[in-house]
Structure 1
């Protein structure tokens, strides 16, 4: 089970009351997460540097309390029936004005021998900037855009004004043999709702081509 960041909008107190819900989630091979740009507290005013740091540490501790392993520029090897995949997680990496805390090279350092790799990276712009054509990561999972919480879908057509900022903003994308899936998220930012852009939990089934 994967969570690709933005657990909060700004503050750790937003997590109050959610622990039981998250602890009720079970995944046989584990629960993993990465940080999103909102998790760092960069968009709030803090009285001191220490206050901001304490907020950030509380958010990271919450991941542990709900059984999610937070991947901070690191990787895990997951085994099933004698086969292996590398799960790579980076801190938030976004195109300016978003900050680039992520270090993909560091995160991949110990899993180069694993042929099939999945990357958790909050911001989908990371895919074209650092992932495709320069790594052999097969699948990248992102979020960030929220589908702008507004848009429409009709059969296979989907549209949102966020497409004018992010070319890859929702759903599945492919470049050569590398894939990106952008989840539209569950919550909201700013406007407390969604218009034609339903929240999403994605189920992805991996099948061998051999």
Structure 2
């Protein structure tokens, strides 16, 4: 109860401060009343969804996600506006004190707030405000197909031109538009890749989240099959369970559902992809992540029955596994496929110019292709979304990788 009281008081204080900017730029009171109404609606909806809504507790339902998304949007607008207003108020305070101490007038008073700075503050704050709303309305389903050609000296000849489609982080519990997901599934199939690889987080927490979508994702097709691994959310670790048995059953149900959908789930094991006399070792580990994330992945076990000289593709959900274990392993993993970061669902990307997201401060390898010690990593930006129900600048991704034999020089 106390934390909610603190939240309400802090939110009202921020909103009241921003209200001063609105009153500075316009004499029309309806602007202020509109802002007050929207602010209150966002705050009350957030409190309702997280206290008395349909799904209480730690389950992040779709209404909760939107309540959080609207709150985030409003807070972003308020905080950016306040940064400008506060800097001006510091100037006003210093100016008022100076006039009292050294000016002709000895009565203390603050100079009037400048309309230009209030306009500038609100104008700049409106940009992320609009972007976050767009991200919830359109951005989360703005699917992009990203294509890469990767060259290898020791790629088996028969696999020259072999095409892989990778998807990751479906987070089916967040979906709210079947037609958009149908479009994305069709887009995946249009790539006509040789193999489809899914790198974890099929659900947010519970197998039941995927059940309404299982028939649709069952239509995914690749001639050499579709393979998957588990991500950190697939274990159900982020919600309370009445018993450990129910939690274990949830995981077993998810494994069974993936099988029904046609996925070959790799649990610290391998498969061989074959073309004539040539083959590639496809290795899949359970989740392994730094910073408190589950470390069920066992690379040694997964690779125990493959050859050191095999060409290897590793599926590992969390890119920190590649950073901390894979690239240092005695085996040479030619290509590792990961996801997990979502690119934070927020950032700026202009191909060939800039690629930035705040998530880079947590994960040095957070989106796209990287190469270290002669080994490649692709971090997929994710198919779905979680928490904030949208994407801004970092769009949902379908990755298509073509393997190429490096030409002799």
Which category of TM-score, normalised to the shorter sequence, fits these structures? over 0.9
The structure with more radius of gyration? 2
Indicate which of 125, 144, 147 corresponds to 2:340. 144
**Structure 1 equivalent of residue 385 of structure 2:** 188
Say which structure, 1 or 2, has more relative contact order (CA 8 Å, 6+ apart): 2
SS of aligned partner of 1:207: strand
Indicate which of 68, 78, 81 corresponds to 2:276. 81
Confirm or deny: 8 A CA contact 1:118 1:139 kept in the other structure: yes
Gaps of 5+ in 2: 1-195
Confirm or deny: 8 A CA contact 1:85 1:114 kept in the other structure: no
Which stretch of structure 1 is more off in the superposition, 126-135 or 82-91?
126-135
**Structure 2 equivalent of residue 98 of structure 1:** 293
> Take 1:26 and 1:116, find their aligned partners in 2: how far apart are those partners?
24
> Take 1:72 and 1:16, find their aligned partners in 2: how far apart are those partners?
21
> Take 2:198 and 2:239, find their aligned partners in 1: how far apart are those partners?
23
Q: Which structure shows the bigger proportion of residues in strand conformation?
A: 1
**Structure 2 equivalent of residue 43 of structure 1:** 238
Confirm or deny: 8 A CA contact 1:86 1:114 kept in the other structure: no
Which stretch of structure 1 is more off in the superposition, 149-158 or 92-101?
149-158
Confirm or deny: 8 A CA contact 2:308 2:332 kept in the other structure: no
> Take 1:62 and 1:98, find their aligned partners in 2: how far apart are those partners?
24
Matches within 5 A, 1:46-57: 46-57=241-252
Q: CA deviation at 1:115?
A: 2.1
**Structure 2 equivalent of residue 14 of structure 1:** 209
> Take 1:97 and 1:132, find their aligned partners in 2: how far apart are those partners?
21
Superposed CA RMSD: 1.1
> Take 1:133 and 1:48, find their aligned partners in 2: how far apart are those partners?
39
Alignment size in residue pairs? 210
* 1:176 partnered with 2:394: no
Return structure 1 stretches of 4+ with deviation > 4 angstroms: none
Indicate which of 300, 312, 316 corresponds to 1:121. 316
SS of aligned partner of 2:332: coil
Q: CA deviation at 1:96?
A: 2.5
Change (3 A) 1:114 1:80: farther
**Structure 2 equivalent of residue 206 of structure 1:** 403
Change (3 A) 1:21 1:38: same
* 1:166 partnered with 2:363: yes
Confirm or deny: 8 A CA contact 1:34 1:89 kept in the other structure: yes
Q: Which structure shows the bigger proportion of residues in helix conformation?
A: 2
> Take 2:376 and 2:365, find their aligned partners in 1: how far apart are those partners?
11
Confirm or deny: 8 A CA contact 1:75 1:108 kept in the other structure: yes
